[in-house]
Amino acid sequence: MSTQLNGGSPRYNPLESMNRRFDAAVEVLGLDKQFANVLRVPDKVVMANIPVTMDDGTIQVFEAYRVIHSDHLGPSKGGIRYSMDVNLDEVKALAAWMTWKCAIVNIPYGGAKGGIKCNPRAMSKGELERLTRAYTVSMKEVFGPESDIPAPDMGTGPQEMAWIVDEYSKIKGQNSWAVVTGKPIVLGGSLGRVEATGRGVMVSTRSALSQNGHKAN
């Protein structure tokens, strides 16, 4: 599914795509429509406008989001992406997909996702640190080891997670290593986390090839 831009060219809408697949799953599983209506929408949407002092002394305001789709199975879990393509529909869709992924593999987490509309490649390390710490402050009532656990996503990595751990720990007045995953090993991160997404794609691809009669080397 897509929406039309002013010039008439189609633009992919991830929320429409998620809802279309969700509707198909509802039919296949025979879910009660009222129950499905509850599952379709996020539990909580948090939006913030974050002012950040840039290296040249100017102040830029960044759009930021955190969507908690579900915490029925446990603390919500999902990455934070930094990209100029970030928008609310995208974050809602990604949060829902996190819910489905956690539920399908039967792990005790719900789904969430976060994002900031920015171009991380055009920002200095200092600017990214100030942005990440300000985002953490804006989400201090959302994040938490027992409530909502962020992780890296497109445009973020162990360094951003380390800044979140440090800022959140300062806010709470105690070390809180468990507030994120994907942090550096020295802060209690997991071996193989950086490669995990790519490895998952490889494993899934090999399985699909095998099921379709192709030999996966």
- Are 50 and 106 a contacting pair, CB within 8 Å? no
pLDDT of residue 199: 83
49 part of a folded domain? yes
Name residue, tokens 């950040």: 52
pLDDT of residue 3: 45
Q: How far apart are CA 84 and CA 146, in angstroms?
A: 30
Give yes or no: residues 52 and 35 share one domain: no
Q: How many other CB atoms sit within 10 Å of the CB of residue 171?
A: 16
Residuewise pLDDT in 10s, the chain (217 residues): 444 444 444 578 999 999 999 999 999 999 999 999 999 999 999 999 999 999 999 999 999 999 999 999 999 999 999 999 999 999 999 999 999 999 999 999 999 999 999 999 999 999 999 999 999 999 999 999 999 999 999 999 999 999 999 999 999 999 999 999 999 999 888 887 777 878 888 888 888 888 888 776 6
- Split into its structural domains, the chain has a count of 2
217 part of a folded domain? no
Q: How far apart are CA 45 and CA 71, in angstroms?
A: 13
Give yes or no: residues 32 and 67 share one domain: no
Q: How far apart are CA 58 and CA 82, in angstroms?
A: 20
Give yes or no: residues 63 and 29 share one domain: no
Q: Is 215 a catalytic residue?
A: no
Boundaries of domain holding 57: 42-211
Give yes or no: residues 18 and 125 share one domain: no
Question: For the domain that residue 112 is a member of, what is the CATH number?
Answer: 3.40.50.10860
Give yes or no: residues 88 and 173 share one domain: yes
Give yes or no: residues 16 and 105 share one domain: no
Among 77, 92, 113, 183, which one carries the catalytic annotation? Answer: 113
Give yes or no: residues 27 and 69 share one domain: no
62 part of a folded domain? yes
pTM above 0.75, yes or no: yes
pLDDT of residue 200: 83
- According to DSSP, the β-strands at 148-152 and 76-83 are parallel
114 part of a folded domain? yes
Give yes or no: residues 93 and 5 share one domain: no
Question: Tokens representing 98?
Answer: 């996190």
Question: Tokens representing 176?
Answer: 């809180």
